[in-house]
């Protein structure tokens, strides 16, 4: 197909080649059906200008290639004809893209410098074989390279899905002059379909795509559309020095610095000013923050967004998305919230926080030592230290059946005894070992005798109280003492001490053996 003279152009994505093996696994009839032009619903590639060339490019395309239509103003034939575009980056880095979004494309005018050539003799030898499945000579294997999704204005830019034609939508402009706020729609060009009055086949100057292959058909028929989830995703406000990798479905990895919420601030994007009191502007606080489920909380078993951080809206496709329109209002003020892009360490669903220096306990809400058990000394917050924090509703550490798990707190040992080292290990044979100078189970809060239920051995149905060793020993000693002096009335007077009293004394001497050499209870 022909391209404009510019090196970089904007294209609309018709579909994604997610799995290259899909098209190569189709039989000839199924593959040809994609190029059919008859019937009420023509094949998805029926408007291809050169089917044989397109089909070969389709079968050669690597994963994350796209099938796209140029969005630059041009004639209707060029507008409607799709082409194959490879990803600009190698398979080491695959950027997200979805059918219906816009991408920047480096075009084929650059190919000549980088494409391998072939002699005419080589080409003549291959011309008789029409079933060559690889590119030969100067034959092009694609029509360009797509670099990334086109960044859009703040009122439509969305990491989950951005409809490009909302950017200059007349409907969006009219909303700001009206008291009503319709649901976000998906116009084809600057007008919606009802306003264009198009007869269905031509392309007006205001339309981006031809009606037979417009946004609605892409949304319904593209394989890539059936493999994506359209949902609300909050904004993220990165700081200038951060490297942020954001997924399409509320996942984020940030390589930056520690980012606590400052006292009295509604957002944590900014540092404290130079000279101000506060934790920021302190070097050596590099941090990796891995989080899934920002601005979400689990409430009564259901995931709910924090209304103070994000506003959602249902669009005309009945999909929930984040309200991006800066002119939208709610009962509590603007729909777009200032702190939407900030982390919420205590509420965000799942997080791994790796920091060179942070106040980890305070960030995650453990500031009151009275809310934690006391193992002889209060568990006070630890500040300004290297941290790795993992938080979620459910956490698992899983090894395979021939592996082991070890949790080690470094420390010293004296002989075979720990001085200040602590170890929890699970061995390949299933043995669990917990070792430390002291091992305390439970907080020590007592109930009535026989009523304690903090520590259960043998499962949740355990009902027999644990015996106190010293108390039991003392009671048995008292019992033995009384047995040794036992006398009973008889017809001839009181009896003497039991004749086996020495045996009871032997038992008394061995009572210490019932006391554990390593454990105590309360």
Q: What is the pLDDT of residue 15?
A: 96
Strand order in the sheet with 286-292: 243-246, 251-257, 286-292, 350-358, 385-391
CB 100 within 8 A of CB 120: no
CA 429 – CA 401 distance, rounded (Å):
9
Nearest alpha-carbon partner for 481 in 466, 495, 498: 498
**Cα dihedral sign, 307-312-313-314:** negative
For the chain, give the longest Cα–Cα distance. Answer: 136
C-alpha triplet 517, 521, 522: angle, nearest 5°: 145
DSSP assignment string, 44-79? TTTT-SSHHHHHHHHHHPPTTEEEEEE-SS--HHHH
**Could you tell me the two tokens for 117?**
């050539």
Task: Tell me 408's DSSP state.
Answer: E
| Torsions phi, psi for 46 (to 5 deg) | -70, -15
Number of helices (H), then strands (E), in the chain: 12, 21
Q: Cα dihedral angle (176, 182, 183, 189), rounded to 10 degrees?
A: -60
User: Domain map of the chain by residue range?
Assistant: 1-228, 243-391, 405-435, 449-522
CB 64 within 8 A of CB 78: no
Q: How far is the CA of 89 from the CAs of 54, 84, 161, in angstroms?
A: 22, 15, 21
Give me the half-sphere count of Cα atoms (radius 13 Å) on the Cβ side of residue 293. 17
CA 346 – CA 166 distance, rounded (Å):
35
- Listed in order, strand segments (DSSP E) in 306-394 are 312-314, 320-322, 329-330, 333-334, 350-358, 385-391
Helices (H), 258-389: 360-363
Burial class (CB in 10 A: 0-12, 13-18, 19+), 218: buried
N residues, the chain: 522
CA 238 – CA 246 distance, rounded (Å):
11
Return the bridge partners of 396, or none. none
CA 139 – CA 1 distance, rounded (Å):
14
429-438 CB contacts, 8 Å cutoff, 24+ apart = 436/409, 438/375, 438/376
CB atoms inside a 10 Å sphere around CB 61: 21
Task: Return per-residue pLDDT of the chain as tens, 522 residues.
Answer: 455 556 888 999 999 999 988 998 999 899 989 998 877 778 999 889 888 889 989 999 999 999 999 886 544 444 568 999 999 999 999 999 999 999 999 875 544 444 434 444 454 555 545 577 787 766 788 888 999 999 999 999 999 999 999 999 999 999 999 888 999 999 998 887 655 544 445 556 678 888 788 899 999 999 999 999 999 999 888 888 899 999 999 999 999 988 876 665 544 656 656 555 545 556 788 999 999 999 988 888 889 998 888 999 999 999 999 999 999 998 878 888 877 778 888 889 999 999 999 888 888 888 888 777 777 778 888 888 999 999 999 999 999 999 999 999 989 988 888 899 999 999 999 999 999 988 888 777 778 887 888 888 888 888 888 888 899 899 999 988 888 888 888 878 788 778 888 888 888 888 888 888 888 887
CB 410 within 8 A of CB 422: no
CB 378 within 8 A of CB 369: yes
Q: What is the pLDDT of residue 205?
A: 65
Q: What is the pLDDT of residue 155?
A: 95
CA 5 – CA 109 distance, rounded (Å):
8
pTM of this structure: 0.82
């Amino acid at each position: 197909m022909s391209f404009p003279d510019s090196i970089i152009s904007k294209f609309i994505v018709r579909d994604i080649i997610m799995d290259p093996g899909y098209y190569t696994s189709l039989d000839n009839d199924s593959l040809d059906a994609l190029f059919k032009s008859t019937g009420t619903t023509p094949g998805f590639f029926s408007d291809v200008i050169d089917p044989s060339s397109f089909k070969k490019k389709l079968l050669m395309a690597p994963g994350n290639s796209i099938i796209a239509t140029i969005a630059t103003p041009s004639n209707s034939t060029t507008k409607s004809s799709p082409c194959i575009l490879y990803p600009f980056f190698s398979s080491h880095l695959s950027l997200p893209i979805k059918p219906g979004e816009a991408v920047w494309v480096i075009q084929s005018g650059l190919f000549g410098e980088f494409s391998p050539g072939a002699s005419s003799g080589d080409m003549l030898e291959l011309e008789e074989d029409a079933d060559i499945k690889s590119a030969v000579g100067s034959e092009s294997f694609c029509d360009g390279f797509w670099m990334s999704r086109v960044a859009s204005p703040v009122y439509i830019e969305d990491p989950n899905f951005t409809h490009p034609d909302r950017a200059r939508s007349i409907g969006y402009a009219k909303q700001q002059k009206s008291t009503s706020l319709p649901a976000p729609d998906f116009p084809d060009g600057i007008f919606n379909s009802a306003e264009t009055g198009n007869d269905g086949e031509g392309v007006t100057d205001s339309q981006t795509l031809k009606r037979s292959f417009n946004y609605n058909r892409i949304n319904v028929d593209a394989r890539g559309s059936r493999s994506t989830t359209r949902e609300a995703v909050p904004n993220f406000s990165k700081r200038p020095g951060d490297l942020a990798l954001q997924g399409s479905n509320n996942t984020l990895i940030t390589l930056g610095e520690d980012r606590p919420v400052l006292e009295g601030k509604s957002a944590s994007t900014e540092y404290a000013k130079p000279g101000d009191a506060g934790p920021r502007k302190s070097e050596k606080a590099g941090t990796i923050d891995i989080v899934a489920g920002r601005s979400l909380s689990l409430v009564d078993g259901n995931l709910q967004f924090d209304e103070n951080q994000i506003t959602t809206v249902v669009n005309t496709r009945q999909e929930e998305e984040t309200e991006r329109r800066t002119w939208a209002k709610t009962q509590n003020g603007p729909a777009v919230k200032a702190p939407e892009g900030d982390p919420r360490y205590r509420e965000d669903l799942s997080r791994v926080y790796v920091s060179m220096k942070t106040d980890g306990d305070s960030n995650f809400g453990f500031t009151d030592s009275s809310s934690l058990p006391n193992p002889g000394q209060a568990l006070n917050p630890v500040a300004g230290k290297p941290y790795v924090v993992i938080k979620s509703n459910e956490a698992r550490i899983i090894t395979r059946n021939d592996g082991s798990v070890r949790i080690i707190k470094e420390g010293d040992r004296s002989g075979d005894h720990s001085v200040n080292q602590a170890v929890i290990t699970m061995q390949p044979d299933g043995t669990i070992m917990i070792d430390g100078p002291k091992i305390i189970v439970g907080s020590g809060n007592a109930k009535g005798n026989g009523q304690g239920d903090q520590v259960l051995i043998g499962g949740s149905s355990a009902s027999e109280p644990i015996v106190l060793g010293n108390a039991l020993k003392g009671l048995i000693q008292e019992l033995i003492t009384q047995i040794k002096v036992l006398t009973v009335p008889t017809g001839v007077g009181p009896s003497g001490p039991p004749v086996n009293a020495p045996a009871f004394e032997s038992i008394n001497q061995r009572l210490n053996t019932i006391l554990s050499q390593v454990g105590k209870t309360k």
